[in-house]
Amino acid sequence: MATLPPGISSAEFETALGKFEEAVGEEWVFKSDEDVALYRDAYSPERDEPTERLASAAVAPVTVEQVQQIVRIANEHRIPLYPISTGKNLGYGGSAPILSGSVVVDLKRMNRILSVDEGRCSCVVEPGVSYFDLYDHIQQRGLKVWVDCPDPGWGSVVGNALDHGVGYTYGQYRDHFGSHCGMEVVLPNGEVMRTGMAALANDNQWADYKYGFGPYVAGLFGQANFGIVTKMGFWLLPEPEAYRRGMVYVPKRRDLIPLVDHVNYLENLGLIGQPGFRSPLGASRAREPELRALLEKPGGPTDEELDRFAESKGIPSWGVELQFYGPEKTIAGSWDYAKERIAASIPGATFEDGVAYRFPLTEAQKAEVQRVHRLVDVGVPNMSIFSIAGGRTEQNPDHADGGQFYFAPMIPRTGEAVLEAGRVLAEAYREAGLPYNDHFALPACWHYRAFIMITSLPVSRLDPEVNRRSRAAFEHIARVAAEHGWGEYRSPPFGVDLVMGAYSFNDHALRRFCETLKDAVDPNGIIAAGRGGIWPRHIRESNA
């Protein structure tokens, strides 16, 4: 074994592993180099460097009782644990720990779907249940419910929610942590706790009401290290009668500002799912040398110059794809309304009807969905994003040997903020020596009420220089973003302190409050050290 938990002797580690084996069975403790290597972060930007975050071993329990035993053994021997659900969070650490030497607690075997209730539109699942598993279960039982899926669909429903992951349908369901309801968690002392109505002696309202009575503690278990979540309830969407898409295009650069306001209005009223902003003008760059020249001139083009070019070619500056879910009559009415509202306010706005379906979809329709937009838009998990993104990124088109990690700051949900962030991030990327979609950068709209300017940085398995440059770029761009008041909602493992550092109000009062809680709940600091930027006392002190 190359990696040991910090401060633990090889002999003591062997003793602890022996106890893990007693708890879960010898075949479910992984300690050979080959086995442990499977837990490396496939997209680590620290690959093969001394800082690469490596597990010392892994243990795969199948019951809550086994998780409790593991936690008790870890306390006894001060073994740091790093729980993962399925470990598919590529770009954000995958199945590797944040603290090297941690023992990964791999929950993949805990994959029971405990309930799916069609009438109440909810489910309760274990961490090893993937979106594929849950979808298949629902299809097999013929239930008329949907799971809002992230992309790709092989990840854990529980793990994605705990990482504050996001999806594609209605805003309230896209917030996967917010649409969870009730959880079971093994605390750092080995006790099992349930939150909300799941804490009642009779758990038949597990997924009905999240707060229960008194303090609502579930937030402490997302992006955090206060326990190991072993079950979660979720609110599902009912299968709608129908779906339709509609495209809106606006001519001028600054039309983005009212366009965003209109889209916000539609989303805040629950009339649309995730909107998809586009720039036809930006997309035309490849075939328009005149536009490229304009973009490359010193100081860049003015808005008026871009507008003149766009008008001369009849290319809209911006567009947005809207998604409507519900009864056919309802969504036809909503699309009509969107057209009327936007046409009345943005001169030259144009509209285009998109695809429309009734559910359930035929196989031919599913193929059309996949061709025209995305299966996740209609609640079908899949892996097609890998064929799009793969290891290639705009910043690193040649490194198919690699992958990427994300720098994705949240910005205000306004057109002004998008234009400003595009400018600022382009400058920061230039300073970092990496390309960026200048002038036409658009936000991802996964989050319900905020925009994310998602950008990715390349990693390589072969060229450490690529990784060093990406890490340095991340640090530079994160600092620039923080200066503008933009924070991130997630972080690759090497960036947790930097990202948490931006949430600095009153000398990092939030982080210090979390540290107080952490020391109280996990005095030995055994659970997921570093996750969410929170470290146990002994590591904070040794780093001070």
Active-site residue list: 92, 489-490
Q: With binding defined as CB under 8 A, does residue 212 bind a copy of itself?
A: yes
Q: With binding defined as CB under 8 A, does residue 268 bind a copy of itself?
A: yes
Q: With binding defined as CB under 8 A, does residue 6 bind a copy of itself?
A: no
Write out 205-272 in H/E/C secondary structure.
CCCCCCCCCCCCCHHHHCCCCCCEEEEEEEECEECCCEEEEEEEEECCHHHHHHHHHHHHHHHHCCCC
From start to end of 384-541, where are the E strands? Answer: 403-407, 410-411, 451-452, 455-459
How far, in Å, are 6, 14, 31, 55 from residue 35 at the CA level? 20, 16, 6, 10
The Cβ of residue 100 has, within 10 Å, a number of other Cβ atoms equal to 20
CB 494 → a copy of itself: shortest distance, Å? 15
CB closer to a copy of itself out of 119 and 299: 119
In this structure, is the dihedral angle defined by the CA atoms of residues 397, 132, 164 and 230, taken in order, positive or negative?
negative
Stretch that binds a copy of itself, among 37-45, 80-88, 427-435, 517-525 (CB under 8 A): 517-525
Q: Binding marks (x or -) toward a copy of itself, 455..484, rule CB under 8 A? A: ---------------------------x-x
CB closer to a copy of itself out of 466 and 514: 514
The token pair that represents 544 in the structure block: 């001070």
CB closer to a copy of itself out of 40 and 537: 537
Phi, psi angles (nearest 5°) of residue 29: -115, 120
Stretch that binds a copy of itself, among 104-112, 207-215, 277-285, 287-295 (CB under 8 A): 207-215
CB 363 → a copy of itself: shortest distance, Å? 25
Q: With binding defined as CB under 8 A, does residue 533 bind a copy of itself?
A: yes
Q: With binding defined as CB under 8 A, does residue 325 bind a copy of itself?
A: yes
Q: At CA 511, angle to CA 507 and CA 512, rounded to 5?
A: 75
> What is d(CA 31, CA 57) in angstroms, rounded to the nearest whole number?
5
Whether residue 152 is preceded by a cis peptide bond, meaning omega within 30 degrees of 0, is yes
Say if CB 406 and CB 45 are below 8 A apart.
no
Q: With binding defined as CB under 8 A, does residue 260 bind a copy of itself?
A: yes
Q: With binding defined as CB under 8 A, does residue 187 bind a copy of itself?
A: yes
Instruction: Show contacts with a copy of itself in window 58-117 (CB under 8 A).
Output: none
CB 229 → a copy of itself: shortest distance, Å? 13
CB closer to a copy of itself out of 60 and 250: 250
Q: In the sheet where 113-117 sits, what is the strand order?
A: 113-117, 122-125, 228-235, 180-186, 192-194
Q: What is the dihedral of CA 131, 133, 134, 137, to 10 degrees?
A: 150
Stretch that binds a copy of itself, among 25-33, 215-223, 275-283, 376-384 (CB under 8 A): 215-223
How far, in Å, are 107, 150, 404, 440 from residue 88 at the CA level? 12, 12, 14, 31
Instruction: Show contacts with a copy of itself in window 155-184 (CB under 8 A).
Output: 164, 170-172, 177-178, 181
Stretch that binds a copy of itself, among 79-87, 92-100, 269-277, 470-478 (CB under 8 A): 269-277
> What is d(CA 20, CA 71) in angstroms, rounded to the nearest whole number?
10
What single-letter amino acid sits at 375? L
* Residue of 11, 201, 286, 388 interacting with a copy of itself (CB under 8 A): 201
> What is d(CA 143, CA 438) in angstroms, rounded to the nearest whole number?
46
> What is d(CA 449, CA 267) in angstroms, rounded to the nearest whole number?
9
CB closer to a copy of itself out of 306 and 349: 349
CB 298 → a copy of itself: shortest distance, Å? 31
Instruction: Show contacts with a copy of itself in window 373-392 (CB under 8 A).
Output: none
Cα 158 to its chain centre, rounded Å, is 12
Alpha helices in 79-127 (DSSP H): none
* Residue of 20, 82, 226, 436 interacting with a copy of itself (CB under 8 A): 226
Instruction: Show contacts with a copy of itself in window 115-144 (CB under 8 A).
Output: 119-122
CB closer to a copy of itself out of 222 and 381: 222
CB 484 → a copy of itself: shortest distance, Å? 7
The token pair that represents 474 in the structure block: 């991340």
CB closer to a copy of itself out of 96 and 186: 186
Whether residue 45 is preceded by a cis peptide bond, meaning omega within 30 degrees of 0, is no
CB closer to a copy of itself out of 125 and 217: 217
* Residue of 107, 499, 527, 529 interacting with a copy of itself (CB under 8 A): 499
Instruction: Write out the H or E segment, with its range, that includes residue 539.
Output: helix 537-543
CB 332 → a copy of itself: shortest distance, Å? 7
Stretch that binds a copy of itself, among 351-359, 428-436, 466-474, 510-518 (CB under 8 A): 510-518
CB closer to a copy of itself out of 63 and 264: 264
Instruction: Show contacts with a copy of itself in window 329-348 (CB under 8 A).
Output: 329-334, 336-337
Nearest partner of 60 among 110, 100, 98, 13, judged by Cα = 110
CB 463 → a copy of itself: shortest distance, Å? 30
CB closer to a copy of itself out of 154 and 503: 503
CB-based contacts of 385, cutoff 8 Å, min separation 6: 151, 152
Q: What is the largest CA-CA distance in the chain?
A: 75
Stretch that binds a copy of itself, among 83-91, 209-217, 281-289, 347-355 (CB under 8 A): 209-217
CB 214 → a copy of itself: shortest distance, Å? 3
Stretch that binds a copy of itself, among 133-141, 150-158, 443-451, 458-466 (CB under 8 A): 443-451
